[in-house]
Structure 1
Amino acid sequence: MFFSKEENELIIKNTIKYCERNVNNGKVLDFDRSLINGIYIMLSAFIKEPAFWDEHCSFGISDIGDSFLTRLNKFNNSISDEGGKVEALYISSFRLFYEGYLTSGIELSSDYNNVIKLSKDNTGNFSENAQEYINFTMRDLSTHLFRKLMSSPEVKVIKEISGTVSSANSLTQEWNDKLAEKIEKADNLKKSIEGYTDAFNFVGLHQGFDKLHKRKVEEKNRLIGLMFFFGYFDNITFCSKNM
């Protein structure tokens, strides 16, 4: 919680009042008045929906939250623009504001779009350091936020869960492969056993034919013996009749 914090809200409201008093101050340079108006718009947005900006500016709050508060206090407590306090507060506010715009995907109102347009179209009017800061915010902040997001504890937990799921999938695949291998071995063994069974059946069939052959040979021999016996008996009968 940052913008929703009571003491921070009070500091921001005091700064908004300062902006209201000076946005039309003729003693202030035109460009600085434009910046003051931009600060007023951004701070008013922060106060209007503090929970929204707390959520969508979390990385910016972590990066520059303390320095942002310091610049707010300095802005409120000094009379003149000593040390470029207007510019310093503007670029800090813009850093938080632009992060909220990037991470939320909200449709910007015309006032909010004017702030972005002011930063984009007037880069050359800022000091050298402020130019670098504005350019970084508009050009490289999205990459910076992505890197911060990928290294955040929440994403690390997701990565760990993803890694666990990946390991589980790998282990499951390994089990499936081993099971398939065992099934294949079982099928091969079954085929081998069936082959042996067929071989044993062939041997039994051969033995059966062999026994049948022997039986037929024995029957043939008996028939031949009977033929000789009856032939011999007929000869004896014939001789007896002729004597």
Structure 2
Amino acid sequence: MSIPGESYFATDRNKKILSNMVVKVRGGLDALRDSDNAKHKFLLEFIGTTLFHLESYPESFDERCIMNIASLGDRFMDEVRKFELGEIDAEYLFAYCYRFLIEYQLSSPHQISSELLSILSRVSDFEYTVGSSQVRYAGHQMLINVVQHYLYHPNLVSLKDLPEVIKRSEAEREGAEQAILDRETRVSALAEKLETYETAFNFVGLYSGFKSLKITKVSEKNWNFLFLLVLGFLLLVPIVVKFFNVLEAPAKSGSDIISFFALAGLELLLLYFFRVALQNFRSIKAQLLQIDLRMTLCQFVQSYAEYSKGAPDGSKGLLERFEQVVFSGIVNDESAIPSTFDGLDKLAELVGKIRK
């Protein structure tokens, strides 16, 4: 017995039985071509046409002939397998085929093929003996049984709950729409945060650039400070050496004057370079101060920009003052830093006078 919902005619075994019998029935029809037994020829034609459609569309018959497959499916296939083309056997098998075609026609959402309709219309043209009860059953009581089967099918019975199902689906739809709105709100909030993070990341990159520049300037300041210490030490060395020479050696007026002038020139030269290095040191400190200011601005410039866009018109003057204080640069006039050769011509004149 077949279980409803499973493949029956579509199994390889039954398809092979149906295929073999279709060939056999066609051979029997050819043998009866010249016969005067119209009923026998009609029975074989009906059986052959039914078996041909069962073989060609087994999934369709499995889906639409659930009741007859459950009640006589195995018996029907046994009759097909043992069929010997005789008229009595043909009437038995015809009755089974008729039941399947009637259920197939009732269960089909569209009109069945014209070939099947044609052989069904000729059933009433003949009188039946051994298959008469099955034919009557298929034309009357079986119709009621098929309708009952589908009317009380579990899937159809569940339609009674259709209003409740519709109400639940409506509630679920409203819930889904609300969930979509909530998600859109969250997505919008995340998009705003993402834009904020992108801007913040850009300022972090700018901050990193200023930090790298600051490291370079700090290193330059340290070397400059070390150079200042060296120049300061060199400024003291000639004076100390000259002081000890004066204490140990007797005074010589001519040579002392020349040496004093030479010492003064050397000290002036060292003092000039010390002054240049000191001005450069101060300039580097001013640059570091400006870099620190910009690094500080990078930490809150985004919030300030947002506040500036949302500020009322009456607050523009206040914001301009704030901008003048915060965004004005701390500039050390580097043009005041003396060049290395500034005053060299005057120093050359001084040396020439000493020689004379």
Give the TM-score normalised by structure 2.
0.40
Aligned residue in 1 for 2:30: 24
Aligned residue in 1 for 2:80: 72
Deviation at 1:157, TM superposition (A): 4.7
Identity of aligned residues (%): 18
- For the pair 1:63 / 2:68, whether they are aligned, the reply is no
Give the aligned residue type for 2:86.
D
CA deviation string 1:131-179 (max 9, x = no partner): 22112212332211121223434345555x46x949x9xxxxxxxxxxx
Give the TM-score normalised by structure 1.
0.58
- For the pair 1:41 / 2:45, whether they are aligned, the reply is no
Q: Measure, in 2, the Cα distance between the counterparts of 1:108 and 1:114.
A: 10
**Secondary structure, in 3 states, of the residue corresponding to 1:106?**
coil
Q: Is the 8 A contact 1:24 1:33 kept in 2?
A: no
**Secondary structure, in 3 states, of the residue corresponding to 2:140?**
helix
Q: Measure, in 2, the Cα distance between the counterparts of 1:60 and 1:110.
A: 22
Larger of the two Rg values belongs to structure: 2
Q: Which has the higher contact order (CA 8 A, sep 6+)?
A: 1
Gaps of 5+ in 2: 1-6, 168-356
Q: Is the 8 A contact 1:60 1:96 kept in 2?
A: yes
Q: Measure, in 1, the Cα distance between the counterparts of 2:138 and 2:14.
A: 23
Aligned residue in 2 for 1:222: none
Q: Measure, in 2, the Cα distance between the counterparts of 1:40 and 1:23.
A: 9
Give the aligned residue type for 2:121.
K
**Secondary structure, in 3 states, of the residue corresponding to 2:111?**
coil
Q: Measure, in 2, the Cα distance between the counterparts of 1:61 and 1:53.
A: 9
Aligned residue in 2 for 1:232: none
Aligned residue in 1 for 2:10: 4
Summarize the alignment of residues 67-146 of structure 1 with structure 2, pairs less than 5 Å apart. 67-75=75-83, 78=84, 81=86, 84-122=88-126, 124=127, 126-127=128-129, 129-146=130-147
Give the aligned residue type for 2:28.
N
Q: Measure, in 2, the Cα distance between the counterparts of 1:150 and 1:109.
A: 25
**Secondary structure, in 3 states, of the residue corresponding to 1:4?**
coil
| Pair 25,57 (structure 1): closer, same or farther in 2 beyond 3 Å | same
Segment drifting more, 45-54 vs 100-109: 100-109
Give the aligned residue type for 2:101.
F
Aligned residue in 2 for 1:182: none
Q: Measure, in 1, the Cα distance between the counterparts of 2:20 and 2:159.
A: 42
Q: Which structure's residues are more often helix, by fraction?
A: 1
Q: Is the 8 A contact 1:12 1:47 kept in 2?
A: yes
Q: Measure, in 2, the Cα distance between the counterparts of 1:149 and 1:140.
A: 15
CA deviation string 1:193-239 (max 9, x = no partner): xxxxxxxxxxxxxxxxxxxxxxxxxxxxxxxxxxxxxxxxxxxxxxx
Q: Measure, in 2, the Cα distance between the counterparts of 1:7 and 1:135.
A: 31
- Aligned match of 1:50 in 30, 55, 58? 58
| Pair 152,108 (structure 1): closer, same or farther in 2 beyond 3 Å | closer
Aligned residue in 1 for 2:193: none
**Secondary structure, in 3 states, of the residue corresponding to 1:24?**
helix
Deviation at 1:23, TM superposition (A): 0.7
